[in-house]
Amino acid sequence: MKTCLGIELGSTRIKAMTIDEGFQPVSSGDYTWASRYKNGVWTYPLEEVWTGLKTALSQVEGREDIAAMGVSAMMHGYLAFDKDWKLLTPFRTWQNTITGPAAAELTELFGFNIPQRWSIAHLYQAVLNGEAHVPQIAHITTLAGYVHYMLTGVNAVGVGEASGMFPIDSAALGYDAGMLAKFSALPKVEALPWKLENLLPKVLTAGESAGMLTESGAALLDGLLVPGIPFAPAEGDAGTGMTATNAVAPRTGNVSAGTSIFSMVVLEKPLEKVYEEIDLVTTPAGAPVAMVHCNNCTNDTNAWVNVLGEAARLFGANPDSGELYTKLYEKSLEGEADCGGVLVCNYLAGEGVTHMDAGRPLAVRTPEANFTLANFFKAQLYATMSTLKIGMDILAEEGVAIDSLTGHGGLFKTPVVGQSYLAAACGAPVACMETAGEGGPYGMALLAAYMLRKAEGERLEDFLGKRVFAGSAGTTVQPSAALAEGFNTYIRRYKALLEVERAAVEHL
């Protein structure tokens, strides 16, 4: 049996998964890691990339049967290398909110929203800061692009991943030439010994060949994989999430919810205005997508689950972690639609959508609030998607049509609960497939399968819709009018809570 391997370097886990010729998961492995806050920057050591990859791959069975593979990772961020691919400054992840001046200046220059976490914002901020490494830069890439290059020797990324580095021209399926010229003409850039187009990786689209595993790449993995395996273009977690949820056609979308939460909605036409809260990126095939990306999702909830588990153990109970999550999620369904006046802000990190440079998790209630476990935990879960709702409401006001959203990631592992709240928040049906918890590595394995097995002229959306997901099992939850009304009440209070959050960031 020939399989396809998808690798994803996510925020909390490095995952590897193979799928069979029927596109079903076969074997998987993972490695847990976490970002570190060092010298004012959220980062991961690159040495741990290889430790984690080898650990995850060592758990995958049937590695000798892999016919194609690909690498995905958390999008955006900044990895800068010299001409010999020596790292010039520690990896700056998507979590950082340290590029405000650069992002604002480039947004105005381009007439196109440049979020703080994008690679170009990090590069230009380093230029504005006068950082010593800037003149030595020969390559900038993403985490997925770096791993792909080290394994294949090919300095290229998929178009969806590239769209988180620099704006993409969807017609030309490459970096926007006009914006490249505007960037190069900036006085502080013009004085540098490089041109941006020479620093960026090549752009490839889904289905194209992106090299193969080299002898040196296999050696980096301690021989766990044999040289010669063909690679699909490296993609970001947004692109693999869209693929894993069959959400690459216009009027479809998906929501990935784990450490961060983001929605991807494939557009029928461009947005009329530029919004700081909305990123414009692409599908792995290059179609335009509106993305609402929020840095904070389940981390604060995870912390509360751990505390509640500690409380249970005081009384001799030792609940399984999965059971504890399930019980608490299900308990939240008993809560009032507006959480009874209980409010939660889950910001552990800064949040670009609401213009916060740092986070202070808060649980707040008025004296008359109905403070019960059900209301508190419903507020926790509402908080995971409240910032997303602020962005999605902008798309609704723009008249963006959404026929369906598909949820995937840890927030949706407990059936129905997360789906119900997201449907209420976004006013659209939310589907979850049986593979909802698989996410990125599954999507990357599908992209590898598309490269390997597509028919001539077969589009990605047709391959997914007609061959991969036709008749696939799952559940769809329609928006509840009562929950939607309750969530709208909650979000009005949540926006007021953000002023409390600003004061907490300033004073604590």
Residue with token string 């723009």: 398
Rounded to the nearest 10 degrees, the angle between the axes of helix 299-314 and helix 321-332 is 110
Is pLDDT above 60 for 454? yes
DSSP 197-246: HHHSPEEE-TTS---B--HHHHHHTTTSS-TT-BBPPPEEHHHHHHHHTT
d(CA 96, CA 100): 10
Residue 245 has pLDDT above 90, yes or no: no
Q: What is the CATH number of domain 3-245?
A: 3.30.420.40
**Token representation of residue 227:** 């040289």
Q: Is 120 a residue whose pLDDT tops 90?
A: yes
The segment(s) of the chain belonging to CATH 3.30.420.40 are 3-245, 299-434+478-507
The beta-carbon contacts of 461-470 under 8 Å, at least 24 apart in sequence, are 461/248, 461/249, 461/285, 464/243, 464/246, 464/248, 465/246, 465/249, 467/23, 468/23, 468/246, 469/246, 469/433
The per-residue pLDDT for 286 is: 93
Q: Give the DSSP letter string of 397-451.
A: HTT---SEEEEESGGGSSTTHHHHHHHHHHTS-EEEETTTTT-HHHHHHHHHHHH
Mean pLDDT over 364-389 rounds to 97
What does pLDDT average to over the chain? 94
Measured CA to CA, the distance from residue 432 to residue 435 in angstroms comes to 8
**112 in helix, strand or coil?**
coil
Spatial contact of 252 and 266, defined as CB atoms under 8 Å apart: yes
Residue reference for tokens 């990339």 = 49
Q: pLDDT digit string (tens) for 191-226?
A: 999 999 999 999 999 999 999 999 999 999 999 999
- Residue 304, classified by CB atoms within 10 Å of its CB into exposed (0-12), middle (13-18) or buried (19+), is middle
Q: Identify the top-confidence range among 231-235, 412-416, 452-456, 467-471.
A: 231-235
Which conformational region is residue 253 in: left (phi greater than 0), alpha (psi within -120 to 50 degrees), or beta? Answer: beta
Query: For the segment 134-185, what is each residue's pLDDT rounded down to a tens digit?
Result: 999 999 999 999 999 999 999 999 999 999 999 999 889 999 999 999 999 9
Concatenate the DSSP letters of all residues of 292-331 into one string: EEES-SSHHHHHHHHHHHHHHHHTT----HHHHHHHHHHH
Task: Please provide the DSSP assignment of 469-501 as one string.
Answer: STT--EEEEPPPHHHHHHHHHHHHHHHHHHHHH
pLDDT of residue 475: 87
For the cut 90, the answer to whether the pLDDT of residue 471 exceeds it is: no
410 or 496, greater pLDDT: 496
pLDDT band at 95 (very low <50, low <70, confident <90, very high): confident
Q: What is the pLDDT of residue 492?
A: 97
- Cβ partners under 8 Å of residue 229, min gap 6: 5, 66, 67, 68, 69, 212, 213
By percentage, how much of the chain surpasses pLDDT 90?
85
What is the average per-residue pLDDT within 87-110? 94
Residue range 310-346, pLDDT digits in tens: 999 999 999 999 999 999 999 999 999 999 999 999 9
Give Cα 324 to chain centroid, integer Å.
Answer: 26
The pLDDT score that the predictor gives to residue 413 is 87
pTM: 0.83
Total Cβ atoms within 10 A of residue 426? 26
Burial, 421: exposed, middle or buried (Cβ in 10 Å; 0-12, 13-18, 19+)?
buried
pLDDT of residue 56: 97
Whether the predicted pLDDT of 437 surpasses 60: no
At the top level of CATH, the class of 299-434+478-507 is: alpha beta
- Report yes or no: 275 and 264 within 8 Å, Cβ to Cβ: no
Please give the Cα distance from 44 to 35 (Å, whole number).
5
Cα distance between residue 506 and residue 499, in whole Å? 11
Return the sign of the alpha-carbon dihedral for residues 80, 85, 88, 91.
positive
d(CA 115, CA 278): 8
Q: Which residues pair with 174 in a beta bridge?
A: 169
pLDDT value, residue 154: 98
Residue 435 has pLDDT above 80, yes or no: no
Instruction: Answer yes or no: is pLDDT of 397 > 70.
Output: yes
